[in-house]
Chain A
Amino acid sequence: MAILVLAEHNNKELKPATLNAVGAASKMGGDIHVIVLGHGCADVAQAAAKISGVAKVFKADSPALAHGLAENTAPVIAGIAKNYTHIIGASTTTSKNILPRVAALMDVQQISDIIAVHDADTFDRPIYAGNAIATIKSSDSLKIITARGTAFDAAPASGGSAGIEDLAGASDAGLSAFVSAEVSKSDRPELTTAKIVVSGGRGVGSGENFKIIEALADKLGAAIGASRAAVDAGYVPNDYQVGQTGKNVAPQLYIAVGISGAIQHLAGMKDSKVIVAINKDPDAPIFAVADYGLVGDLFSIVPELTEKL
């Protein structure tokens, strides 16, 4: 048994989601290898080699891999796939984009977004926005998996001393090209790994009004999230969205402000340890999952909370 983990990175830094994917891999038993696909990504490979429990790191460094294009990265992974029983990535947009392409190249039915490992072939995954949990067993000899970060403990980022092997043969498939990126900049913690998340919904009313959410988040050292309604209305960027098709979060404390609690939103946050809901509508579904609900006007409650904390 050997397991290959797809590293999540930006060519400079290894992203914490990789540690959760290694954590999921460690539940399956077997040697864990990490593959870093990028350009000028030596520091990332060094960081991956230090992850506790990792036995080997493959580094494929090529201009064709600089932007993680699926057309160019998938064949590199497929090229070494026969050496593995499992290939795993975190449930990020990177892995969601690349791994199904690898799976089809290998004639494998991928298993998306697992939340538990029963044995090397059997896994739990949420379906219907998390309103049902399917336990499924794969008959493929190679398992290709994405793992939900919040469901698996992060492997320690240090303690390992894996060897790094260069992997040649990457080329540009000539099918796609990177044009540009608009990366959201924030000094706040990353949404999917933050200990506290403050999220705003339609009730916040405008992008300008999100300042009161920001003030509360900064007082708590929290990340900021949002409901689909708030993103659709343009109050905040798309990468703030928590929910079935956005990001999944499971912080120690989730504060939902002006969010009614559609099932698609609950799917992304109901595994939080403690949920606080602030909403003027006492019948809002969010209160049914909240540990502490406070009914009232968010425009007076949130500033008061920020001030008194």
Chain B
Amino acid sequence: MKIFVPIKRAIDYSVKIRVKADGTGVDQANVKMSMNPFDEIAVEEAVRLKEAGKASEILVASIGPAKAQDVIRTAMAVGADRGILVQTDAPTDIGGVEPLAVAKILKAIIDAEKPELVIMGKQSIDDDSNQTGQMLAALLGWGQATFASKVELDGSAVKVTREVDGGLETLSLKLPAIVTTDLRLNEPRYAALPNIMKAKQKPMDTKTPEDYGVSITPRLSVVKVSEPPKRTGGGKVASVDELIDKLKNEAKVI
């Protein structure tokens, strides 16, 4: 079985982001970039399926600037076999390549590569849209299991436990299918140094959105990007009695 894992390069989760002074976006210059954390979980799950003998090949793809090949090499260092960089200089957070366009490019890759399972992050932590997997499933006419916390391959089906608002839900999907990952699916491993070196030798193709016949013209225009209202916190109380007094008589919330 071939597993396809789309991955995204985004500002690292630990970075305190800065809104650009001209209100056009978020400053990406000289900021640490990493693989989107949900995508790391997706790669890890694919690698575990391959280690368990249930998958034969792991293909990864990333859409973004030339530097996005870094996240492809990172995925290769933990076990992905092959990569495709779909290169574009359009922004990948907002005002550029949007989830619908990403889904169309991924569909074109899937039409050519014919994987039986796609595992991908449920959302990227830059634009927080949480759309691409569902859109891709619709375009392919495949089943979808979003927000996965457990994935079990069983012949021609995949059983997936999903994290939903009321608790957990388990679905069975006919293959091929799309699975999107939630936080508790697994704990991604770190790449070992020899594997990072070996990853440089693995095959990677470079394409463009045009190669797949997909227009990436945005449907949503960015009017402005602004800072959220600042919260004035930092108040302290010295005791439980003072806290209760403040909540009753100052904040009046109890």
Give complex CA distance A237, B11 in Å.
29
Binds B, one of A23-31, A155-163, A170-178, A207-215: A170-178
CB <8 Å contact, B220 and A176: no
Interface size class of chain A, counting residues whose CB lies under 8 Å from the partner chain = 35 or more
Q: Write out, one digit per residue, whether chain B residues 82-125 have a CB within 8 A of any chain A CB (1) or not (0).
A: 00000000000110001110010000000000000000001101
Known contacts A103-B135, A253-B254, A292-B235; is-contact A178 B17 (Cβ 8 Å):
no
**Cβ–Cβ < 8 Å partners of B13 in chain A:** 264
Binds B, one of A32-40, A53-61, A125-133: A125-133
Pick the residue among A107, A238, A273, A308 that contacts B100 (CB under 8 A): A107
**Cβ–Cβ < 8 Å partners of B98 in chain A:** 109
CB <8 Å contact, B19 and A132: yes
Does A7 reach chain B (CB closer than 8 Å)? Answer: no
Of listed A98, A102, A127, A287, residue having the most chain B CB within 10 A: A127
**Cβ–Cβ < 8 Å partners of B122 in chain A:** 245
Interface size class of chain B, counting residues whose CB lies under 8 Å from the partner chain = 35 or more
Give complex CA distance A238, B183 in Å.
10
Pick the residue among B130, B222, B233, B238 that contacts A275 (CB under 8 A): B233
CB <8 Å contact, A176 and B236: no
Known contacts A132-B228, A238-B149; is-contact A295 B236 (Cβ 8 Å):
yes
In angstroms, how far is the closest chain A Cβ from the Cβ of B215? 11
CB <8 Å contact, A309 and B254: yes
User: Per DSSP, are chain A's interface residues mostly helix, strand or loop, or mixed?
Assistant: mixed
Residue pairs across A and B with CB atoms within 8 Å: the count is: 260
Q: Write out, one digit per residue, whether chain B residues 121-161 have a CB within 8 A of any chain A CB (1) or not (0).
A: 01101111111111111110111111101000000000100
Does A6 reach chain B (CB closer than 8 Å)? Answer: no
Give complex CA distance A244, B129 in Å.
11
Does B26 reach chain A (CB closer than 8 Å)? Answer: yes
Known contacts A174-B174, A175-B177; is-contact A101 B137 (Cβ 8 Å):
yes
CB <8 Å contact, B16 and A263: yes
Known contacts A132-B226, A232-B184; is-contact A239 B167 (Cβ 8 Å):
yes
Cross-chain pairs A/B with CB under 8 angstroms, 11 sampled = A74-B138, A94-B165, A101-B138, A103-B100, A104-B135, A127-B94, A133-B225, A180-B170, A238-B168, A292-B236, A294-B238
Q: Which residues of B contact A (CB under 8 A)?
A: 11, 13, 16-17, 19, 26, 38, 93-94, 98-100, 103, 122-123, 125-139, 141-147, 149, 159, 162-174, 177, 182-184, 218-228, 231, 233-241, 243-244, 246-247, 251, 253-254
